[in-house]
Amino acid sequence: MKKMGDMLLQENPFSEIVMGNTALVRAMVEAGTRVVTSYPGSPTPEIATAIRSIPPAARPFYFEFSTNEKVATEVAFGAAMNGHLSTVFFKSVGLNVASDSFVQLSLMKITGGMVIVLGDDPGANSSQNEQDNRHFAHMSYTPVFEPANPSEVYSFYREAARISRQRQMPIIVRLTTHVCHAKERVEFGGWKPKPHDPAIRFNAADGPFIPITSMVFPKKRRALENLSAIERIAGDSGLNRLVDNQNQNYGIITAGLPFLSLLEVLENAAEQPDILKLAVVYPVSRKRVTQFLQAHDKVLVLEELDNILEKEIKLIAFEEKIGTGIIGKKDAEDWIGEYTPDKVFQVIKKNWPELLPDKPEKQDRISEAPPRPAQMCPGCGHRAAFHAIAKAVSEQDIKVADIGCHTLGFLPPYKMGDILLCMGASTGIGSGMSLFNSTGKVIAFLGDSTFFHAGLPGIINALFNKHQLTLIIMENGTTAMTGHQSHAASGENFNEPVDAIPVRKVLEGFGIEQIHETDTYQMKKLTELVKKAMAEPGLSVVIAKHPCMLKQMREKRRRPGFKSVPVTILQDDCTRRYECVEKFGCPSFVRNKDGRITINHDLCIGDGSCVRVCPSQAINLPKGDRK
């Protein structure tokens, strides 16, 4: 069986079917990247999975999961300033966290070169919004390469790294969810390992690197000069692609994933428009766009999310006095969602109905997948926690959610979460909601990974300003939602075991005295602790602990001979009060048409958290290997 790590380090040219995230890691290897940092977030975690497949001793670059995206950006920047080609990657909203440092990068002369890989998320598949990070690129004067498939992920990263190192500037490679996860056969080049050069390359004399007032304008001029250079490079680059169908009437300008969807939609078109696929979406190549506009009577700009390319292209047409009819987004629907083939069909049909049939050719062969609500895994400690906490709070109490698996607590039957913004915001929001609030209590939820990522300032603020609220830290020992990455309290980092930084000791170090702690499976005790904490003045904390059961069960199943034993329902004892399905809500329970409750053996892990829930004591926990 072929091992991913061996493939990624193969020295001779080869081809392989890989996903976009894997192709990126091979590109890092070939480009001579020396430092890679990240904070986990979909759609990018598989980049780290590919990196992990390379044994640490053979890995040609250093990698770490940093405590958050801002720190990850700063570590990569520091390494790049010391002459090492560096990369930082994270998901779309991660750039919000990193932005304070990110917006300064283009002002700096980055000795080793630095590539920022963004996993944008049109469709909000795993994010709280659909933000278009091309806006950040414009604000920070940072060029953007946008690949459409794994082959382009590979080639675009290599070119971005080359230019970044040559011009000593940051460059964004903007991926989207489907580009990260798509698979195709990629033609890879050769690679020869080179020893690390430990020489210090940072030279303060090349600076100054301090962006104080007197230094900002020269640095900004350099950033703008770099942008102009990238525009010229993009205009001459073979990365841009022209699909020339000799059609002077219809032309389409697009980039990234929408290009692939467009090709599929046009298979059954009455005639084939010409297509200009841009590789560098900021800055846009004025030369290429001007030539394309002048050659066509009407041009459609096809882009996901915001109308960034559209505005750039219309500006070029105005300044160049080109009379081509340019069509952009027409209504709100054009701004929403991924540009999958169905979506692109609708956009083309809306603007040029004469080009396409009345409905997509493949529509009759596509069956809609049944809706499947998001839910916590069987045995999840968060489920037990919410079931217990629900018994401690009233309808007047305000419950502030945060980012993590526990975000799903706002769904029925738990309804534990009334408001949410972003990672680590719950304590600050809760503090504000506690002001002038005499009719109810405020509780805020926070995961243990988020605690270290962005939760500490809000906790310090609540303590410092004596806000009245109860913080419930949902501690499961991992960054579960994005694939079980370690964090500061896990006792290991990406590369090796380390001393854990316990959540409770951090809280005690802040001077918080009202700290309570229990395993979430001890539901009665957790209910009592939450009631007690809510009655205490000022900031009180409840640490609701239980290991992530998905992670634990995966580890147990690797043991030879391990077999989980599901619970059973004692039908003669069951009084059909349905606490197990209506209030506890484990997906392992099946409510049959005849009213009986049975167990889905494919889902039940036999953890026994449900046993304490049944008022009839009708759930039986057989003996088995649960170690």
Give the CATH number for residue 543. 3.40.50.970
Q: Is position 373 within any domain?
A: no
Give the H/E segment covering residue 546: none
Question: Could you tell me if 311 and 453 lie in one domain?
Answer: no
- For 257, the 3-state DSSP assignment is helix
CATH of the domain at 355: 3.40.50.920
pLDDT for res 563 = 83
Q: Is the distance from CB of 153 to CB of 24 less than 8 angstroms?
A: yes
Q: What are 593-603's pLDDT values in tens digits?
A: 999 999 999 89
Question: Could you tell me if 189 and 214 lie in one domain?
Answer: yes
pLDDT at 572 over 70: yes
**Strand stretches in 462-601, DSSP E:** 469-475, 515-519, 539-545, 568-569, 589-591, 597-599
Q: Is position 370 within any domain?
A: no
pLDDT for res 359 = 73
Please state, in angstroms and as integers, the Cα–Cα distance from residue 40 to each residue in 56, 69, 133, 482, following that order: 19, 9, 18, 6
Question: Could you tell me if 457 and 342 lie in one domain?
Answer: no
Pairing assessment for the beta strands 144-145 and 86-91 based on DSSP bridges: unpaired
**What count of residues does the chain have?**
627
Q: What are 351-388's pLDDT values in tens digits?
A: 999 998 887 665 554 556 666 677 899 999 999 999 99
Please state, in angstroms and as integers, the Cα–Cα distance from residue 472 to each residue in 219, 425, 438, 521, 613, following that order: 45, 13, 21, 15, 21
What distance lies between CA 296 and its chain's CA centroid?
A: 39
Q: What integer is the mean pLDDT of 488-495?
A: 89
Note every long-range contact of 553-562, with CB atoms under 8 Å and residues 24 or more positions apart, other chains counting: 553/379, 553/605, 556/625, 556/627, 561/625, 562/625
The dihedrals phi and psi of 468, each to the nearest 5 degrees, come to -100, 100
Q: Given 554, 573, 595, which residue is the final one in a domain?
A: 554
Say what the pTM is: 0.88
Q: Is position 529 within any domain?
A: yes
| Summary mean pLDDT of the chain | 92
Q: Is the distance from CB of 605 to CB of 378 less than 8 angstroms?
A: yes
Q: Is position 272 within any domain?
A: yes
CA distance 413 to 23: 42
pLDDT for res 199 = 80
Give the H/E segment covering residue 178: helix 177-181
pLDDT at 408 over 60: yes
Q: Is the distance from CB of 339 to CB of 304 less than 8 angstroms?
A: yes
Instruction: Tell me the two tokens of residue 62.
Output: 């250093």
Q: What are 387-405's pLDDT values in tens digits?
A: 999 999 998 999 999 999 9
pLDDT for res 125 = 86
Q: Residue 536 has what DSSP assignment?
A: S
Q: Is the distance from CB of 541 to CB of 516 less than 8 angstroms?
A: yes
Confidence of residue 624 (pLDDT cuts 50, 70, 90): low
Q: What are 420-469's pLDDT values in tens digits?
A: 999 999 999 999 999 999 888 999 999 999 999 999 999 999 999 999 99
Question: Could you tell me if 187 and 304 lie in one domain?
Answer: no
Confidence of residue 626 (pLDDT cuts 50, 70, 90): very low
Q: What are 84-114's pLDDT values in tens digits?
A: 999 999 999 999 999 999 999 999 999 999 9
pLDDT for res 627 = 42
DSSP letters spanning 432-492: HHHTT--SS-EEEEEEHHHIIIIIHHHHHHHHHTT--EEEEEEE-SSBTTTT-B--TTTTB
Q: What are 220-252's pLDDT values in tens digits?
A: 999 999 999 999 998 888 889 999 999 999 999
Question: Could you tell me if 543 and 574 lie in one domain?
Answer: no
Please state, in angstroms and as integers, the Cα–Cα distance from residue 429 to each residue in 144, 419, 474, 512, following that order: 34, 9, 17, 19
- Taking the C-alpha atoms of 422, 423, 424 and 429 in order, what is their torsion angle to the nearest 10 degrees? 10
Question: Could you tell me if 14 and 91 lie in one domain?
Answer: yes
CA distance 600 to 580: 13
Question: Could you tell me if 137 and 167 lie in one domain?
Answer: yes
Q: Give the rounded percent of residues in the chain with a pLDDT score beyond 90.
A: 78
pLDDT for res 87 = 98
pLDDT at 567 over 70: yes
One-letter amino acid for residue 259 of the chain = F
CATH of the domain at 625: 3.30.70.20
pLDDT at 622 over 90: no
Q: Is position 201 within any domain?
A: yes
Closest Cα to residue 613, out of 425, 394, 387? 387
Residue 548 burial (CB count, 10 A): 22
Q: Give the rounded percent of residues in the chain with a pLDDT score beyond 70.
A: 97
Question: Could you tell me if 488 and 586 lie in one domain?
Answer: no
Closest Cα to residue 114, out of 139, 145, 79? 79
How many structural domains comprise the chain? 4
Q: Given 337, 365, 393, which residue is the final one in a domain?
A: 365
Q: Is position 376 within any domain?
A: no
Q: What are 301-359's pLDDT values in tens digits?
A: 999 999 999 999 999 999 999 999 999 999 999 999 999 999 999 999 999 999 988 87
Question: Could you tell me if 8 and 139 lie in one domain?
Answer: yes
Question: Could you tell me if 232 and 246 lie in one domain?
Answer: no
Q: Is position 374 within any domain?
A: no
Residue 595, domain extent = 561-627
Question: Could you tell me if 531 and 417 lie in one domain?
Answer: yes
Comparison of pLDDT for 2 and 492, the residue scoring more? 492
CA distance 53 to 8: 9
Q: Is position 516 within any domain?
A: yes
Question: Could you tell me if 343 and 441 lie in one domain?
Answer: no
Bridge partners (DSSP) of residue 67 are none
- For 594, the 3-state DSSP assignment is coil
One-letter amino acid for residue 319 of the chain = E
Q: Given 188, 218, 236, which residue is the final one in a domain?
A: 236
Bridge partners (DSSP) of residue 187 are 15
